């Protein structure tokens, strides 16, 4: 047994290191790293190195474990001040939007491909969830208005729960013998109870970690991850949505300004990367390359139905009560990325031996590969064409420094793009609030400490230290100056987050 274990550890380490190195290569080539991980799984599978693996049930279990970590990291890094204004829209997308998407995809596939209603709706349910890992990894590289980023990230963190519920209901056939309103109440209970469990665990975690001094700083990240897993377990035991509980608990813990916060975020980020790598490689290992060519046509038809009908319709219906412009809705429609989550969800009917589940899994696998290549690479051009870019938006730099921890402050970076009204403004004319300061300017490859009379230029990169209490005001002020210049307030511009 030991030689087999040694060989497994060797192969696992090689795959992990290749996957880590592939992140840099995929960034340079503009190819999403998840596709590299899927390809690695296929390469070491039965058609490659000869490793036979077809355990859909084990894949589902490990996939759910990986999703817990990925969703927890998304919740921990979400800022409540940015999330709060879009919570209604994100919740609508994660509930009403999911239902509309399922019905739209199901109707198209029933009419065009002749699938029976149960299987057609199952396709729609499996593909109704946007992928947290794909959304987090892609959007954080783009300069977009915080409102759009927060909406998409919150949606991806919340819509796994209703998607899982619908897939399970359609797979195991528990709807027999119950009226439709019973199932609606069941879904409502699972979502409401899941949110309540997340709040309870998050509040308890904040209280405990603020008042219990752990003997080592390395224990705080472990404790935080433990609380998020606790949220999932408690929710599952109560027959509530564990995924929603994880996300809510993560948001509460991430906004609590816990001790060693940067170490916690760094640990969660690394753990999420490990979960993504393991999940995508495992899904690639489960796929059978010999069956995939036959799945191309149904995958393309399903993908077009999702991209051109279901997603735009779900966004439009969800946005009716909210003030989102058509250009914003168009970007939200295009940026609904699918990744590992739909493939994981496709293992549920596969493990339940639903008729047609093999073809469903293959079609979803091919769809994710094709449409990830199509969508992820076009998000930046689409944002520019729709006019929803925000090149002068602040981004947070995660560093572990004791002074920042004691000051309860964040280190922010701001680029001064060409055409921004920030160019030509003196540092003292930024009128940053108390608790914030421009500490360094990088210009033409040279860094220097600015003075009050330093005039900003296009192409400058600014490092700004801002305390927690001042950060939101700093973002609003810099957003206002980038739009209207030093006299922003005289023009009635206060830097509220909106599509410019």
Render pLDDT for 453-462 as a digit per residue (tens, 0 to 9).
Answer: 899 998 899 9
Q: Evaluate whether 392 touches 444 at the Cβ level (below 8 Å).
A: no
**Residue 232, pLDDT above cutoff 80:** yes
| Beta bridge partner(s), residue 448 | 441
pLDDT of 193 reads: 92
Q: What is the pLDDT at residue 249?
A: 95
Residue 89: the pLDDT is 92
| Average of per-residue pLDDT across 39-65 | 83
Answer yes or no: is pLDDT of 161 > 50: yes
Q: Could you tell me if 280 and 232 are in contact, meaning their C-beta atoms sit under 8 angstroms apart? A: no
Average the pLDDT over 153-159 and give the result.
84
- The per-residue pLDDT for 47 is 75
Chain centroid to CA 389: how far? 19
pLDDT digit string, tens, across residues 193-213: 999 999 999 999 999 988 887
CB atoms under 10 Å from CB of 355, counted, come to 11
Closest CA relative to residue 56, chosen from 484, 365, 350: 350
Q: How many CA atoms, within 13 angstroms, populate the side-chain half-sphere of residue 496?
A: 4
| Model confidence at 28: pLDDT above 90 | no
Q: How confident is the model at residue 370 (pLDDT cuts 50, 70, 90)?
A: confident
167 versus 372: which is more confidently predicted? Answer: 167
What does the longest C-alpha to C-alpha distance in the chain come to? 75
Stated pTM of the model? 0.80
Is residue 317's pLDDT more than 90? Answer: yes
Flag the least confident range among 190-199, 200-209, 269-278, 335-344.
335-344
* Residues 333-337, mean pLDDT to the nearest whole number: 84
How confident is the model at residue 403, as a pLDDT?
Answer: 64
Residue 164 has pLDDT above 90, yes or no: no
Q: Average pLDDT of 412-435? A: 87
Local confidence band at 31 (pLDDT 50, 70, 90 cut-offs): low
The answer for residues whose C-beta is within 8 angstroms of residue 195's C-beta and 6 or more apart is: 241, 244, 245, 248
Residue 160: which pLDDT band, with cuts at 50, 70 and 90? confident
What pLDDT score was predicted for residue 96? 92
The residue-averaged pLDDT of 343-363 equals: 89
Whether the pLDDT of residue 1 is over 60: the answer is no
Category of 177 on φ-ψ map: left (φ > 0), alpha (ψ -120 to 50) or beta: left
More confident residue, 27 or 440: 440
Q: What is the pLDDT of residues 453-500, one digit of tens each?
A: 899 998 899 999 888 888 888 888 888 888 888 877 776 777 776 644
Distances (CA, A) of 256 to 84, 204, 209, 249, 469: 15, 11, 10, 11, 13
**What's the rounded mean pLDDT across residues 273-289?**
87
Of 500 and 446, the structure prediction assigns the larger pLDDT to 446
Rounded average pLDDT over 155-166 = 85
Please give the span between the terminal C-alpha atoms of the chain, in angstroms, as a whole number. 63
The per-residue pLDDT of the chain, averaged, comes to 84
pLDDT at 175: 47
Assigned token pair, 254: 């991430």
Q: In Å, how far from its chain's centre is CA 300?
A: 24
């Amino acid at each position: 047994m030991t030689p087999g274990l040694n060989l497994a550890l060797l192969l696992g380490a090689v795959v992990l290191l290749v996957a880590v190195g592939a992140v840099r290569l995929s960034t340079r080539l503009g190819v999403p790293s998840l596709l590299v991980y899927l390809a690695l799984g296929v390469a070491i599978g039965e058609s490659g190195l000869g490793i036979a693996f077809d355990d859909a049930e084990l894949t589902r279990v490990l996939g759910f474990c990986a999703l817990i970590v990925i969703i927890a990291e998304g919740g921990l890094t979400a800022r409540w001040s940015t999330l709060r204004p879009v919570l209604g829209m994100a919740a609508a997308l994660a509930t009403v939007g999911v239902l509309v998407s399922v019905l739209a995809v199901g109707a198209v596939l029933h009419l065009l491909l002749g699938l029976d209603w149960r299987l057609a709706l199952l396709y729609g349910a499996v593909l109704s969830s946007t992928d947290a890992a794909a959304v987090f990894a892609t959007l954080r590289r783009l300069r977009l208005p915080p409102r759009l980023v927060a909406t998409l990230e919150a949606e991806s963190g919340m819509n796994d729960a209703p998607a899982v519920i619908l897939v399970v209901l359609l797979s195991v056939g528990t709807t027999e013998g119950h009226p439709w309103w019973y199932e609606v109440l069941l879904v409502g209970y699972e979502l409401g109870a899941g949110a309540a469990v997340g709040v309870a665990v998050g509040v308890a975690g904040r209280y405990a970690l603020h008042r219990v001094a752990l003997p080592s700083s390395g224990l705080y990240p472990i404790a935080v991850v433990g609380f998020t897993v606790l949220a999932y377990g408690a929710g599952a035991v109560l027959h509530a949505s564990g995924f929603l509980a994880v996300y809510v608990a993560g948001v509460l813990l991430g906004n609590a300004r816990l001790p060693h916060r940067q170490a916690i975020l760094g640990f969660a980020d690394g753990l999420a990367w490990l979960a993504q790598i393991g999940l995508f490689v495992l899904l690639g290992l489960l796929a059978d390359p010999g069956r995939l060519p036959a799945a191309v046509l149904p995958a393309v038809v399903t993908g077009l139905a999702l991209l051109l009908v279901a997603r735009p319709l779900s966004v439009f219906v969800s946005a009716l009560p909210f003030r989102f412009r058509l250009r914003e809705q168009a970007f939200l429609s295009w940026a609904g990325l699918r990744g590992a989550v739909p493939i994981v969800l496709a293992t549920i009917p596969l493990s339940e031996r639903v008729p047609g589940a093999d073809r469903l899994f293959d079609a979803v696998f091919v769809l994710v590969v094709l449409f990830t290549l199509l969508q992820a690479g076009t998000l930046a051009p689409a944002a520019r064409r729709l006019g929803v870019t925000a090149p002068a938006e602040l981004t947070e730099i995660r560093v572990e420094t004791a002074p920042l921890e004691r000051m309860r402050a964040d280190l922010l970076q701001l680029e001064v793009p060409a055409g921004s009204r920030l160019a030509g403004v003196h540092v003292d004319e930024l009128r940053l609030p108390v608790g914030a300061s421009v500490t360094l300017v990088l210009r033409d490859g040279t860094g220097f400490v600015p003075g009050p009379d330093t005039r900003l230029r296009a192409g400058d990169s600014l490092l700004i230290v801002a305390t927690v209490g001042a950060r939101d005001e700093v973002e609003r002020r810099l957003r206002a100056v980038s739009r209207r210049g030093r006299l922003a307030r005289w023009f009635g511009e206060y830097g509220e987050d909106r599509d410019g």
